[in-house]
Structure 1
Amino acid sequence: MKSVYKKILILSLVIIAVLVVLKLSNDNFKKQKISQFTIKINTQGGPELVTEEEVRSLISQGYDSLTKREVGEIDLEWIENITRTNPFVSTVDAYINIDASLSVDILQRKPILRVFNTKGETFFIDSDGKMLPLNKGASPGLIVTAGDISERYLPSQQYQYFDSVSFDQARVLTTMHKLYLIASEISKDNFLSKLITQIYVDDNSHFELIPVIGDQNILLGDVDGLHIKLQNLHHFYKLGYKTINFSQYKTFDIRYHNQVVGVRKIFETEEPKKENDI
């Protein structure tokens, strides 16, 4: 029995000794000066919308010189919160490495749509459905939308993504929410994202797509069954462009279930027929 107590006592002393060493080690670590400060920005394959200089400027509001500060003085949560005030920052992770270096990893937002509303405002919607202010670096290659869009720019506004939308759901969604869903589906398709350059809004339930090739309008209708409609359009352009003379058509209609309906152009003849011509 004494042997058991002795083993427990020894084990307890070892644990206490380890805890003391860890505490002293942690205290010593906290007293170390920050050895290096690095910022990594993941642009998600897009243009740079957040710069190192901008991030350093934000953090300098609380820390004039990080490399002169001790590890224990650094408030990582504050650094993350102040960095998030940049509207183009999606997520941020600040941490201190074992060598006392400070790292800030940033995931940049990815704009997918540029909006021109009827109020004279222009702004972006990103892949997470969030409204973003204008940034010159983000404009090239983005889908542009205009028409009957009355919703104003609200920095706090963020729309929810839906995998599918029923007819009843489509009736209650706002125009901007629908535009986000359309742009999101297009941006996920490598072929369509290169084909479609504009979305025109006739009204809340009638949307038109403008392709980069040809002079046709594509009638999308509402967002119910959106994924299937765009899938049909993808296959139609990819497979039909070699066999169909697209120049003969003024409109392609994808509003109907599993169909792409082409409306031909009307060409006037040089000499109109007379009534008695056969």
Structure 2
Amino acid sequence: MRKAFVIFFWSILVGGLASLFVFANQKQQEVTCPEFIIGISNDGPHQLISEQYIRQQITRAGYRIKKQRLADIKAEEIQELLRKNPYIRSANITIGVNGSVIAHIRQRQPLLRVFTETGRQFYIDSEGFIMPVNAEFATRVVVANGKIPDISLKSGNDRNRDVKPEKNLHPELQKVFLTAKAVKQDAFSEALTEQIFINTAGEIELIPKLGNHTILLGDTTILNDKLNKLKLFYKQGIRNDAWNKYVMINLKFRDQVVCSKSSQYGTI
């Protein structure tokens, strides 16, 4: 008898709590949203979106949030809309205790700006995701150009969604992406590098901010070792006015640096 009473008691309690939850949820759905809050987190210094930009995107898609009943706000659709934005890495919509709708957004970070052979421009972010250039937000990152084929931005990101975005990149884009990542990870190389160039042989060159020479990396093997060699060479091998004596610093070969001087200085 006592066991049956205990079961009955807990059944009533659970049922009551469930009813209370349903009632509270239904009541909240009738609440009018007092405000729409947008929080944008950024893992780096580059801004590609703003609160105003997000509000405009949602409004242009036909959605209304502020002063609307929570039951009428299509939070999941708005969340999906934001997630499809090429500048947004993640987006989540939550409801505050007072009925406020909150968008938690994490922006992608551009790593480099690519110019194809046909002059098309786009960004590649720190994960290898391709993004269009946003004219409203000027972002200064390393530039990559040269023998880079024209590609569709969509095909560059959608070929295989089950692997990391960088694996979907065209081989020439993978070259500049991996080079830009290696350069970004080293403060000296980042400060030095103005441009990444793919020459007619498909080899990687760096164009430095100082001097009239180019730096030949070749391919993406042992990139960190090559950049370390370059750092050592600049600190110990180039002095005074030597910046303008060289036309090429070749780092293709393991454990050596081969330099070519301009014709007025001879060659080494």
TM class by smaller structure: 0.7 to 0.9
Q: Deviation per CA, 1:9-43: give whole Å up to 9, x if none.
A: 22222222221211211111121111221111223
| 1:157 to partner: Cα distance | 1.1
Q: Does the residue aligned with 1:67 lie in a helix, a strand or coil?
A: coil
1:232 alignment partner in structure 2: 229
* C-alpha distance 138-115 of structure 1, shift in aligned 2 (>3 A): farther
2:211 alignment partner in structure 1: 214
C-alpha distance in 2 between matches for 1:122 and 1:11: 65
Of 7-16 and 259-268, more deviation after overlay is shown by: 259-268
1:70 alignment partner in structure 2: 69
1:121 alignment partner in structure 2: 120
C-alpha distance in 2 between matches for 1:11 and 1:244: 86
Q: Deviation per CA, 1:197-250: give whole Å up to 9, x if none.
A: 11121136411101112222111001122233234334544x437868743443
Matched, 1:254 2:251: yes
Q: State the AA in 1 paired with 2:119.
A: G
* C-alpha distance 135-240 of structure 1, shift in aligned 2 (>3 A): farther
* C-alpha distance 223-139 of structure 1, shift in aligned 2 (>3 A): farther
Q: Say whether the 8 Å CA contact 1:124–1:132 is kept in structure 2.
A: yes
1:95 alignment partner in structure 2: 94
Q: Does the residue aligned with 1:155 lie in a helix, a strand or coil?
A: helix
Q: Does the residue aligned with 2:66 lie in a helix, a strand or coil?
A: helix
* C-alpha distance 26-130 of structure 1, shift in aligned 2 (>3 A): same
Alignment partner of 1:199 out of 192, 196, 211: 196
Of 31-40 and 71-80, more deviation after overlay is shown by: 71-80
Matched, 1:107 2:106: yes
Matched, 1:143 2:142: yes
Q: Does the residue aligned with 1:26 lie in a helix, a strand or coil?
A: helix
1:17 alignment partner in structure 2: 16
What TM-score do the two structures reach when normalised by structure 1?
0.80
| 1:103 to partner: Cα distance | 0.7
* C-alpha distance 140-96 of structure 1, shift in aligned 2 (>3 A): closer
C-alpha distance in 1 between matches for 2:187 and 2:68: 47
How high is the sequence identity, in percent, across the aligned residues? 28
Matched, 1:177 2:174: yes
* C-alpha distance 140-80 of structure 1, shift in aligned 2 (>3 A): closer
C-alpha distance in 2 between matches for 1:101 and 1:140: 33
Report the RMSD for the aligned CA atoms in angstroms.
2.8
Q: Does the residue aligned with 2:118 lie in a helix, a strand or coil?
A: coil
Structure 2 portions without partners, runs of 5+: 158-163
Of 54-63 and 18-27, more deviation after overlay is shown by: 54-63
Q: How many residues align?
A: 257
* C-alpha distance 90-19 of structure 1, shift in aligned 2 (>3 A): same
| 1:140 to partner: Cα distance | 4.6
Decide which structure has the larger Cα Rg and report it.
1
Q: Deviation per CA, 1:145-170: give whole Å up to 9, x if none.
A: 222222334234137447xxxxxxxx
* C-alpha distance 259-5 of structure 1, shift in aligned 2 (>3 A): farther
